[in-house]
Amino acid sequence: MKKVFVIGAGASGLIAAITAARNGASVTILEGMEKPGKKLLTTGNGKCNLTNTAMSDPNVFRSNTPEFVSHILKQFSVSDTLAFFEDLGLLLKDRGGYIYPYVEQASAVLDLLLMEVKRLSIKLKCLEKVKGLYYAKGNWQIETDSWTYSADAVILSAGSKAAPVTGSDGSGYDLAAMAGHRIIPPLPALVPLKVKGDWYKSLAGVRSQSCLTLYVEQAPIMTESGELQWTDYGISGIVVFQLSRFAVKALSANKNVQVSVDLMPDYQTEELIDILKNRALQYPKRTVEEILTGLLNKKIINVMLKKSKIKNTKPADAVTTDEIKSLTGSIKSSMAEISGFRDFSQAQVCSGGVSVQEVDNTSLESKITPGLFLAGEILDIDGACGGYNLQWAWSSGYTAGLHSTCNHETVN
C-alpha cells in the first residue's frame, strides 16, 4: 500500500485523505491543533456554506493564473461535491444557489467527514505540528517535535495565514518553501477595511443595505451590493469582503483607494431628489431630520446632514433645492478614503501563497519536487464569499488525494 501523509486536517485535507484512502492508500493525517476542522466549523457563520451552484462566473476565483482553477473544478465539480456529501448522509439545502447543510450546522459536515475518516481506518494524529519536510533516500521525511515520519507521497493542505486561531498560521508556506517553492507574499482577503477620518464612527453598529464602488487611483474597479456593517474603525460585512482583496492589493502597492457608498441603491438620483422634495412639501413644518425618518437609519440621517452642511433642526419648507441635491449626493455617493485593512486574524482567506505556476494543473503535484501535492488555501487561489472557497477546498483536496495514489497516465 502506498503511504500517503496529509499535513493539515481542514476541509481540503480531510477530503484529500478520504479520497486517497478510497483509492487504496494507507493514509495518515498530521494536524497541529488539538482537534481537526476548527476553521471549517467557523464557515458560513457556523452554518457552513458548502458550495455555490454559480461556478461559471470567471470572477468568483482570483489568482495570478485564474484559468488554473477550471482544470481542477472539472475533476470534482459542484455536482460531485453534492453527491459526495449526500453519500456521507448529509441532507442539503439550496438557498438561491448557496448550498448549506439542511440543519445549518458546520459541525454536522465535520462529524460526517470524521466518520468516514474512521471508517476508512485513516490515522488522525492531532497536536502533531509539522516542523520539517524534505525528500531523502527515496522517501519524504516529515518531522514533528515527537517523530520523523516516512511517506511515499505528501499532501500539503496546511492552510494560509487567515484566521490563525483556527490553526491556519502560515506554517504551511514554510514547509512549501523547504520543498523549493516560491511563495507569493500572502495578504488578507475577505477582510474588513479601515476608513480615514472619523465621520463614520458615530455609525458603529449600524447595518444598511448599500451599493459600494471601489476606486483605485480615482478609477472605478468594481461594484458590489449587499449589507454594509459600520464599525468604529471603518466598514465590514460581505459587501466589503467582496471588494477587499483588490483594495488590500492596491493599498499594499501604495495606491490611493476609496470606496463610494450608495445608501439607497434601489433609487436613482433623480428619483430620490423628487422623493425628498415631495416629503418637504407634504410635511412643511417638520424638520429636515424628521422628513428623512423612515427613509434612513437615524444615525445615518445625522451623518448625512452633517456631510451636507444642513442643520437637522431646519424646517423642511426652508430647505433649498441645492441643499436637497447636496443631501441626495451624500446619500447616493459618500466617499470613504480607505486607509488600511484588518490583519490576518480578521481575514477569512488570503491572496497569495504557493504559485500555481509551480504546480501541475491536472494533478496538483509539485513541479519542483515530485511526490508532493498541494491543496486548499496554501495555493495562490482565493474566492469570493458564497461557498467558493470551500468548493476550492473540496475540488483541490479531492484532486490531490486521487493523484497522490495513482500513476498519472492511469487516471481518468
What confidence category does residue 199 fall into, taking pLDDT thresholds of 50, 70 and 90? confident
Higher pLDDT, 408 or 92: 92
- Tens of pLDDT, residues 32-57: 999 999 999 999 889 999 999 998 88
pLDDT-derived band of residue 410, with 50, 70 and 90 as boundaries?
Answer: very low
Regarding whether 54 and 154 lie in a shared domain, the answer is yes
> Which one of 280, 307, 341 terminates a domain?
341
The SS3 call for residue 67 is coil
Are the C-beta atoms of 151 and 17 separated by less than 8 Å? no
Burial of 183 (C-beta count, 10 Å sphere; 0-12/13-18/19+)? middle
| Confidence category of residue 112, pLDDT binned at 50, 70, 90 | very high
**Same domain? 333 vs 355:** no
**Do 8 and 128 fall into the same domain?**
yes
Sheet of 148-151, strand order: 130-136, 139-144, 148-151
Task: Give the separation between CA 48 and CA 103, rounded to whole angstroms.
Answer: 10
pLDDT band at 407 (very low <50, low <70, confident <90, very high): low
Q: Tell me what the mean pLDDT of segment 223-227 comes to.
A: 95
Instruction: Examine the domain organization and report whether 31 and 140 are in the same domain.
Output: yes
Residues 304, 261 share a domain: yes
pLDDT > 70 in the chain, percent: 99
Q: What is the CATH number of the domain that holds 364?
A: 3.50.50.60
Which of 299, 321, 341 finishes a domain?
Answer: 341
Contacts of 146 (CB under 8 A, 6+ apart): 128
Bridge partners (DSSP) listed for residue 61: 383
Average pLDDT value for residue range 18-42: 97
Q: Which residues contact 77 (CB under 8 A, 6 or more apart)?
A: 55, 395
Tell me the percentage of the chain whose pLDDT exceeds 90. 93
Cα(283)–Cα(281) distance, rounded to whole angstroms?
6
Domain count, the chain: 2
Mean of the per-residue pLDDT values of the chain: 94
pLDDT, position 84: 98
Residue (of 281, 270, 221) closest to 247 by Cα position? 221
Higher pLDDT, 412 or 404: 404
Contact 24, 409 (CB under 8 A): no
Dig out the grid coordinates for 119 from the structure.
471508517
Give the 3-state secondary structure of residue 319: coil
* Separation CA 98–CA 273 (nearest Å): 36
Q: Which residues contact 69 (CB under 8 A, 6 or more apart)?
A: 61, 63, 381, 392
Which of residues 323, 341, 359 is at a domain's end? 341
Q: How many CB atoms sit inside 10 A of residue 216's CB? A: 19
Of all helices (H) and strands (E), which one includes residue 51? Answer: strand 51-52
318 shares a domain with 176: no
Distance, CA of 139 to CA of 2 (rounded, Å): 11
- Does pLDDT of 412 surpass 50? no
- Write the pLDDT tens digit of every residue in 152-169: 999 999 999 999 999 999
What pTM does this model have? 0.93
Query: Is there a single domain that holds both residue 141 and residue 203?
Result: no
With bands split at pLDDT 50, 70 and 90, how would you rate the model's confidence at 203? very high
pLDDT at 275 over 90: yes
Q: Which helix H or strand E contains 98, and what residues bound it? A: strand 98-101
DSSP class of residue 366? B
CB contact at 8 A, 91 and 61 = no
Domain check: are 361 and 292 in the same one? no
> Do 126 and 144 sit in the same domain of this protein?
yes
* 167/296 same-domain check: no
pLDDT value at residue 174: 96
pLDDT at 130 over 90: yes
Reading the block at residue 212, the C-alpha cell is 459600494
Strands 382-383 and 61-62: antiparallel
Task: Give the domain extent around 329.
Answer: 192-341
pLDDT digits (tens, 9 = 90+) for 248-273: 999 999 999 999 999 999 999 999 99
What pLDDT score does 136 carry?
A: 86
The pLDDT confidence band at residue 323, using thresholds 50, 70 and 90, is: very high
> Does the pLDDT at position 219 exceed 90?
yes
Inter-axis angle of helices 321-332 and 298-307, nearest 10: 120
Residues 6+ apart with CB under 8 A from 121: 21
Q: Are 342 and 194 in contact (CB under 8 A)?
A: yes
Q: What band does 411 get if pLDDT is binned at 50, 70 and 90?
A: very low
176 SS3 class: helix
C-alpha cell of residue 231: 464599525
Query: Do both 28 and 103 map to the same domain?
Result: yes
The answer to whether residues 95 and 171 belong to one domain is yes
